[in-house]
Amino acid sequence: MPSWLPSTGPGSSKTSLTNESQAILANNHQVSQYTREPENDSLLILTPIKNNAKHLGRYFALLDKLKYPRNRTSLAFLVSDSTDRTQQMLIESKQWYQEKAPPELRFRRFDIYRQDFFYALPRKQRHLREKQQERRIMMARARNYLWTRALQNEQWVLWIDGDLEYYPPNIVNDLMAYDKDVIVPNCLVRRRNVRGRWKHSVYDRNAWQETPQSLEMISKLKESDFLVEGYRTLKTYRRYLDRFPKNETVVPLDGVGGTFTLVKSHVHRSGVGFPAWLFQHQVETEGFAKLAKAHGYGVYGLPFYYIRHVTD
């Protein structure tokens, strides 16, 4: 008997069931052997991608170092509005991994989707504050298209950026071990300072925790006000992952980014996606975190578990 069905054997608790409930349970018994439950520890890696040809070599090099069983790992990409060789390179990669590579290197699934939104933003305008709401809404639409098309019976979903520079090979197992609904590492970026020396700083400012000051600020906003991080012209008073002491190794968050985000698939299946509208003044990944928390799920970050993004 499936574990989620109530026990009817000796010693089971007595419950009073209506005729309708009894009919539902009887039907469950009849179809349970044919239904498809999530496979234990199966992983779906999702990457929305656009004009990413120059980073794909590194993307797959990092995946090849990942210490997670290939027969439990699926990949799915959404190519949107690309004008370079991104899609062709993905097709060539799929042919190699799934047809020519040794069996131990083949993924459980390797899917490529194409959906163009015809949204063009010059790279120099990518980080302009006034462009962020429309840009992030388009990213939310892409993410929602991808997970609703690609998610099958996997137990975990991992969102990975297409232009990461480094993450530890054992990161999937490490993050799964925390057993959180949503969890992110601390994504850094390496830049040279004025003396020419390399310095690391937080790249993903979308991972944050509300503070009394930020909540007071939010209470004074209009419903239509959009919040975005990383701009001197907008102080949100939130606590980023580089603002925690060493003894706080796993911390609750109210916002997350999408550079490397591990999600239990039941979070998505319950209807928690990426808002393409303002939800509590946020959209896309930060809106996803707010929406997940509103549904009762836990959202966490690891301030001292580092990955690295390429320098913009």
Tell me the mean pLDDT in the region 205-217.
Answer: 97
Cβ neighbours of residue 302 under 8 Å, at least 6 residues apart? Answer: 175, 178, 183, 184, 185, 186, 241, 249, 250, 251
Fold annotation for 43-309: Spore Coat Polysaccharide Biosynthesis Protein SpsA; Chain A (3.90.550)
Q: Is the pLDDT of residue 8 over 70?
A: no
In sequence order, the 6+-apart residues with CB closer than 8 A to the CB of 280 are 218, 287, 290, 294
**Residue of 59, 41, 40, 61 lying closest to 49 (CA atoms):** 59
Cα separations in angstroms, 19 against 22, 23, 26, 128, 294: 5, 6, 10, 61, 34
**pLDDT tens per residue, range 160-185:** 999 999 999 999 999 999 999 999 99
Nearest of 132, 123, 97 to residue 111 by alpha carbon: 97
pLDDT at 165: 96
Round to whole Å and give the CA distance between 50 and 121: 12
Spatial separation of the C-alpha atoms in residues 157 and 260, rounded to whole Å = 10
* Mean local confidence (pLDDT), 271-299: 97
Give me the phi and psi of 97, to 5 degrees please: -65, -40
Q: Is 224 exposed, middle or buried (0-12, 13-18, 19+ CB in 10 A)?
A: exposed
DSSP class of residue 12 equals P
Measured distance CA(253)–CA(293) in Å, rounded? 9
Q: Could you give the CA distance from residue 2 to residue 288 in angstroms, rounded to a whole number?
A: 32
Instruction: Pick 73 or 41 by higher pLDDT.
Output: 73
User: Which of 85, 130, 255 has the alpha carbon at shortest distance from 182?
Assistant: 255
Cβ atoms within 10 Å of 230's Cβ, excluding its own: 15
> Is 60 exceeded by the pLDDT of residue 305?
yes
Measured distance CA(244)–CA(253) in Å, rounded = 12
Report pLDDT digits (tens) over 22-31: 776 666 666 5
92-119 pLDDT, tens digit per residue, is: 999 999 999 999 999 999 999 999 999 9
Phi/psi at 261 (5° precision): -125, 115
How far is Cα of residue 39 from the mean position of the Cα atoms in its chain?
Answer: 19
CA atoms within 13 A on the CB side of 76: 21
Tokens of 278: 């303002």
pTM of the full structure:
0.87
Question: Residue 25: its pLDDT value, please?
Answer: 65
pLDDT at 191: 86
